[in-house]
Structure 1
Amino acid sequence: MMEQEAPWMTLSWSWHIAPLAPIPRRGEASRVQSVQAWLAWSSAKSGACVGEVSTATATATAAMTAKKVLLLCGDYMEDYEAMVPFQALQAYGVSVDAVCPGKKAGDACRTAVHQPTGHQTYSESKGHNFALSATFDDVSAAAYDGLVIPGGRAPEYLALDEKVLALVRKFSDAKKPIASVCHGQLILAAAGVVRDRTCTAYPAVKPVLVAAGAKWVEADTMKKCVVDGNLVTAAAYDGHAEFISLFVKALGGSVAGADKRILFLCGDYMEDYEVMVPFQALQALGCHVDAVCPDKGPGDKCPTAIHDFEGDQTYSEKPGHDFALNASFDGVDASSYDALVIPGGRAPEYLALNEKVLSLAKGFMDNGKPVASICHGQQILAAAGVLQGRRCTAYPAVKLNVVLGGGTWLEPDPIHRCFTDGNLVTGAAWPAHPEFVAQLMALLGIKVSFA
């Protein structure tokens, strides 16, 4: 069957494809348009071929809505706390604009990786470069249904910006949902919108919130979330699953078909975003998600790699978060799971040498269960011999693996483009997460709708 052009093919993104590596380009439209275009296009099709799902499965995915959310960004906001809600909400069909004072659409904010490392407070290292999708001076609270405020160090200086505070007050006065995590509540305190409101935050923010008149709720774990009317607060990114779920509910959203069990195949130096974004996005829907790694057990951690595009001939690498596993590889019963997700990064190149890993991946494919693989993850599928006759994409440098493995190569142009071929969803890199998660949701029959 000839490949058919879908609507998202005409939508631009912030990378051009070079022969082997994407090169950054600034100033493009919101990615959610491509997700919504794909959902509309796929629902009109029948059969399951490239870039398609059947009408039945397409109607069981995230519903297109007019919901629109603003993400308030700044330099050295926490890496996960910006990208996870940004991409998860888009995967659910919500339009998200990311803005930063003093910057315009296409500019980048540097992010920070914050995590406990055994010292008296968290450590910090440089994260990804986060591309903004709108211009701060052009936005109006009236155009949005909700506001998300990431934590990290950005709120320290954003809380001094009167334009930021005025914007937050407009959302609060209109009683629109506001979701703030970690240090983001510093902005709420400075805006004067937490008096007599029950909320939590990263523990170090307690004195400021108490002084601002908030009713403080101690975070017994870093997963703590609190709801008070239109206000959703969380202690840290550990609580993203509940945090995002509560925000979706505050926006009038509901989820159907999420009673699924999903397995993540992890390894050391998998890409940071490529594991955490889909992991928490699926958890937020209500799915049971297990993450395993050969020779490791629940509670063990996998170091991750931050892969970014910084003007060189290939991507750069920086250390990412340590990702905590929650299940044992040796104890996995593949028959108990509905789908398999394979993150990219550098882990797949050595996992592809592990016969148990290959057998696991082959089992999911042979049984027709959904398999979603991104970036270098397709190295595992090629080594498992399951790409023969399948149409798929991957990070451009993995084209050799795909072609030699018998697959039909589909160019990821633009880089956020994903494809569904039967039970297989493939993407090229982490910018593709909104489409990647949305297409997996379609195969699983998960639907997000808004009142």
Structure 2
Amino acid sequence: MANLGSPKKVLMLCGDYMEDAEAMVPFQALQAYGLSVDAVCPGKKSGDICRTAIHQGSPHQQTYSESRGHNFSLNATFDEIDSSTYDGLIIPGGRAPEYLSMNESVLDLVKDFVKSEKPIASICHGQLILAAADVVKGRKVTAYPTVGPMLVAAGAHWVEPETMASCCVDGNIITGAAYDGHAEYINHFIKALGGTLTGSNKRILFLCGDYMEDYEVLVPFQSLQALECHVDAICPNKSAGDTCPTAVHDFEGDQTYSEKTGHDFKLTANFKDTDASSYEGLVIPGGRAPEYLALDQNVIKLVKHFMDAGKPIASICHGQQILSAAGVLKGKKCTAYPAVKLNVVLGGGTWLEPDPIDHCFTDGNLVTGAAWPGHPQFVSQFMSLLGVRVCF
């Protein structure tokens, strides 16, 4: 459940080719927790988009690769913001910080947050902006390793990241090496804003598959981890440490969504060894994976266990194809991606039109959403069923 008091306000500093996950995961996670988040970019206004980049490494590469991510919609205008009205600042990484670090208005904005001692969370290459703003002298800071020399030159106490999930906190500055560390990074930020968690430590299971939608696994997975829940991801015929390739689904002027390759998502547990009774909730991402997962009888058995036991289930987009195949939608009110309406109706569910597309619904133990823009509601409603809450 999200915070019910007066919401904290957070500013996110965006730019073209910021890293896809490093923008959207904290943006939607913080909204799910009940915070108000404004995303701005110099030279752009509310409603404009920033193109994002998917960065990921490989043991076969000397550096990370880059491919196109989602189009990220801004919801505020840079030239109209008043930094004094915000309680914290988020700086995603990627390539955007290279040019943002040369913008005097950006540097002045960062200096305002440092002077006011408000929390700043910066990840990956975002620390280039901190270095350019001359706010890291004497501070312990980590980042993506190639940023280290610049931070040392700027007078920071460089903390070499042991893994790409490493984070560092020094006063009001929170830094992370890469999106792998979002759970700790976001957790530190909400606590720096005065947030407290109740009902955490829940055990949650994610039902994954090849070409599930990138955001629809990463955002809820890391959002729940940041709330100190134990979250496992499994996929039929795969084991802990294996990866599932994901798909970036977006609307770019065609009659249906486009698809691009997303991040490789690492599984945390073995499907064949999973004891469903040890988990308190189930999440089913959308994308293309549900088409084939719905044909797997072991998947069907697992989903039926959660529904028969009345445990919270959250399913989004095409995930409802699995619910339909499992026969668990009978008597349930449910939404989904509109093209999945036939599956819902034939599966005995009562169709709820997702208007607007970010509208999510809860019916008993079931939370359903239509697509990734609805993640703030989707995660918040699932938190409510689990009894997990962030309070400020």
Per-residue CA deviation, residues 363-410 of structure 1 (Å, 9 max, x unaligned), is 100110000000000000000000011000000000000000000000
**How much does 1:65 deviate?**
3.1
Number of the residue aligned with 1:440 = 382
| 1:303-325 alpha-carbon deviations (Å, 9 max, x no partner) | 00000011111000000000000
Contact 2:140 2:169 in 1 (8 A): yes
Query: 2:219 aligned with 1:219, yes or no?
Result: no
Using the TM superposition, give the Cα deviation of residue 344 of structure 1 relative to its aligned residue in structure 2, in angstroms. Answer: 0.1
Secondary structure of the residue aligned to 2:378 is helix
1:315 aligns with 257
Counterpart for residue 16 of structure 2: 75
The CA distance in 1 between the partners of 2:4 and 2:164, in whole Å, is 31
How far has the Cα of 1:61 moved from its partner?
A: 4.7
Residue 397 of structure 1 corresponds to 339
In structure 1, the residue matched to 2:30 is 89
Q: Point out which structure has higher relative CO (alpha carbons under 8 A, 6+ apart).
A: 1
- CA displacement, residues 402-440 of structure 1 (integer Å, 9 cap, x when unaligned): 000000000000000000000000000000000000000
1:371 and 2:313 aligned: yes
Contact 2:47 2:75 in 1 (8 A): yes
Aligned counterparts of 2:6 and 2:165: Cα–Cα separation in 1:
29
User: Which residue of structure 2 lines up, in the alignment, with residue 33 of structure 1?
Assistant: none
Structure 2: unaligned runs, 5 residues or longer: none
Which residue, out of 158, 170, 184, partners 1:242?
184
Partner of 1:39: none
1:313-372 Cα offsets, whole Å, 9 max, x none, are: 100000000000000110110100000000000000000000000110011001100000
> Counterpart of 1:329?
271
Q: How many residues align?
A: 391
Which consecutive residues of structure 1, in runs of 5 or more, have no partner in the other structure?
A: 1-59
- Check the 8 A contact 1:61/1:445 in 2, yes or no: no
Cα deviation code 1:212-248 (max 9, x no counterpart) = 0000000010011000010000000000000000000
Q: Contact (CA 8 Å) 1:65, 1:93: kept in 2 or not?
A: no
Identity among equivalent pairs (%):
73
| Residue 330 of structure 2 corresponds to residue 388 of structure 1 | yes
Report the counterpart of residue 54 of structure 2 in structure 1.
Answer: 113
User: Residues 62 and 446 of structure 1 are in contact (CA less than 8 Å); yes or no, is this contact kept in structure 2?
Assistant: no
Contact 2:294 2:321 (C-alpha < 8 Å) held by counterparts: yes
2:186 maps to 1:186: no
1:413 matches 2:355: yes
Q: Secondary structure at the match of 2:303?
A: helix
Counterpart check, 1:104 vs 2:45: yes
**Mapping 1:24-423, distance limit 5 Å:** 61-117=2-58, 118-423=60-365
Q: What is the TM-score of this pair, normalised by structure 2?
A: 0.99
Whole-Å separation in 2 of the counterparts to 1:291 and 1:62: 27
After superposition, the C-alpha distances for 1:83-138 in whole angstroms (9 at most, x for unaligned) are 00000000000000000000000000000000013210000000000000000000
1:66 Cα deviation after fit: 2.5
Give me the CA root mean square deviation. Answer: 0.7
**Alpha-carbon separation, structure 2, partners of 1:201 and 1:347:** 33
The one-letter amino acid paired with 1:114 is H
Q: Contact 2:2–2:34 at 8 Å: present in 1 too?
A: no
Q: How far did residue 63 of structure 1 move?
A: 3.3
Residue 140 of structure 1, CA deviation? 1.4
Cα deviation for residue 259 of structure 1 reads 1.8
